[in-house]
Amino acid sequence: MTSSTSLLGKKVLVGVTGSIAAIKTPILVSRLVQAGAEVKCILTPNSTNLVSPLSLSTLSRNKCFQDKDQWEDYQAKPLHISLAEWADLIIVAPMSATSLSKFVHGNADGLLASTLLAADSQIIVAAAMNTSMWSNQSVKNNWNSLQKREQVIPLDPSEGLLACDRIGDGKMINLDIIELASESACLFKAQNKFLTKDLIGQRFLISAGPTIEDLDAARQLTNRSSGLMGVLMSHAAKLRGAEVDLVHGPVTFQKELLEGLNTYPVRTATQMQTVINDLQPVANVIVMAAAVCDFKKTSPSYKKVPKNLLINSILKNIEITPDIIKKLSSKKLQGQIFLGFAAETGSDQEIKDKGEQKRISKGCEFLMANPIDRKNQGFEENCNSGFLLGPNKMVKNILLSTKLSISHQLLDEIQNYQS
């Protein structure tokens, strides 16, 4: 995962409601605690049929609250008020149709419902229910009413085999994505803000991961890249309200991180170029985080070729792959913004100089130049640093931070540029 520091020391209140996905909530609680958060839980009466209060209190290292606690006579302040005031962040996972309806319609019946209404902190809600319930118009209306609310981060359920044996939408989004949303909310909380929905109405086209070129049936050429930077950019943009198309090569991080995204898996540079070309006309912002393989062999053999024959064939038939971003920016649409990435080595000055040359030659408004020869950052790491280069000789020093934090910083710059 994104080994984040943004959850460290944060007070997170986890609400659990009566959907079978509640069986996953203890793992979420454990992961939040491991990320350094202080966690307290509230269970609705129905959720106690599915998950035990003792599991949650043990994993959170705190008392787990239920409706009956609300009316204990020792409390100096009403419990729903003290819990709401305590929380830096609230996560309701899963959010059932009933609890959603109560929240949307201002119904304070029960400890969780009243705490949600009393809260001023950011609230993440991860819906989970049967497919027909999810597609019911009343539920849809309730869910849609949350989309533009600054305080709320609604996480759509994903598709899959549900506990009722139906296959369809309704599964609670996986815990990795809930954690990403939590980390994002905490990054904004550090600036005393809610996660902004400033990208509503925008469409992002993002590329990620390596591309691979076959030499023969067994050997291949590629560039180093896990794909994490591009996929985190995609989630960050989506959380901020953008529609996102993610075109990705064979990524090496856990596949769960692709859940909830509009994905277009490809393998070669030419395949990536074709898909990106098709999607360009609808994109407001194009982010090329992919490490496109620089070379390919003309007509690779579909059989395994003996080494000595293969090397001769490679030397005679090697060519440079198409520069996707350069070709794309030459037919840039009005108002379209391009952000490229450049993995570089050398001193800060060398990285900035090489980055600026690439930004101009590739026709990008922005280019993030990052070192790949320094410890604990870059390839296969959760952190990065570098320089964001932009129009009018803009140079922004991006300090060593998580790739998720960098994603939000880059989106801030794009947003400032557009407005």
Coil, helix or strand at residue 317: helix
Tell the smallest beta-carbon distance from residue 342 to ligand C5P (Å): 4
Q: Identify the bridge partners of residue 247 per DSSP, sorted by sequence position.
A: 207, 264
* Omega of the bond leading into 78 within 30 degrees of 0 (cis): no
Q: Kindly state the number of chain residues that form the binding site for ligand C5P, as judged by CB under 6 A.
A: 14
Q: List the one residue from 146, 342, 351, 389 that touches ligand C5P (CB under 6 A).
A: 342
The residues near 164 (Cβ < 8 Å, ≥ 6 apart) are 130
Per rule CB under 6 A, is residue 353 in the interface with ligand C5P?
no
Q: Residue 228, Cα to own-chain centre: how many angstroms?
A: 9
Per rule CB under 6 A, is residue 290 in the interface with ligand C5P?
yes
Contact 20, 163 (CB under 8 A): yes
Per rule CB under 6 A, is residue 221 in the interface with ligand C5P?
no
Closer CB to ligand C5P, 169 or 294, in the complex: 294
Contact 282, 242 (CB under 8 A): no
Contact 272, 323 (CB under 8 A): no
Tell the smallest beta-carbon distance from residue 277 to ligand C5P (Å): 12
Per-residue interface string for the shown chain with ligand C5P, residues 355-394, x marking contact by CB under 6 A: ---x---x--------------------------------
**Residue span binding ligand C5P (CB under 6 A) among the ranges 47-55, 287-295, 375-383, 393-401:** 287-295
Per rule CB under 6 A, is residue 269 in the interface with ligand C5P?
yes
Q: Identify the bridge partners of residue 366 per DSSP, sorted by sequence position.
A: 339
Round the CA-based radius of gyration of the chain to a whole number and report it.
24
**Nearest one of 278, 272, 314, 277 to 293, comparing CA atoms:** 272
**Residue span binding ligand C5P (CB under 6 A) among the ranges 80-88, 340-348, 387-395, 397-405:** 340-348
Burial-class residue 126 by CB neighbours within 10 Å (0-12, 13-18, 19+): buried
**Residue span binding ligand C5P (CB under 6 A) among the ranges 65-73, 296-304, 334-342, 387-395:** 334-342
Give the separation between CA 31 and CA 177, rounded to whole angstroms. 12
Joined together, the tokens standing for residue 21 give: 């996905």
Active site residue 383: no
Give the separation between CA 382 and CA 375, rounded to whole angstroms. 12
Closer CB to ligand C5P, 80 or 362, in the complex: 362
Q: List the one residue from 231, 257, 288, 404 that touches ligand C5P (CB under 6 A).
A: 288
Tell the smallest beta-carbon distance from residue 212 to ligand C5P (Å): 13
**Residue span binding ligand C5P (CB under 6 A) among the ranges 115-123, 141-149, 180-188, 285-293:** 285-293
CA-to-CA separations, 69 to 18, 84, 344, in angstroms, rounded? 18, 15, 57
**Residue span binding ligand C5P (CB under 6 A) among the ranges 46-54, 69-77, 100-108, 335-343:** 335-343
First to last CA, the chain: 33
Marked catalytic residue, from 41, 164, 186, 293: 164
Tell the smallest beta-carbon distance from residue 335 to ligand C5P (Å): 20
Per rule CB under 6 A, is residue 134 in the interface with ligand C5P?
no
Closer CB to ligand C5P, 19 or 321, in the complex: 321
Coil, helix or strand at residue 154: strand
Kindly list the catalytic residues.
164
By CB under 6 A, name the binding residues for ligand C5P. 269, 288, 290, 292, 321-325, 340-342, 358, 362
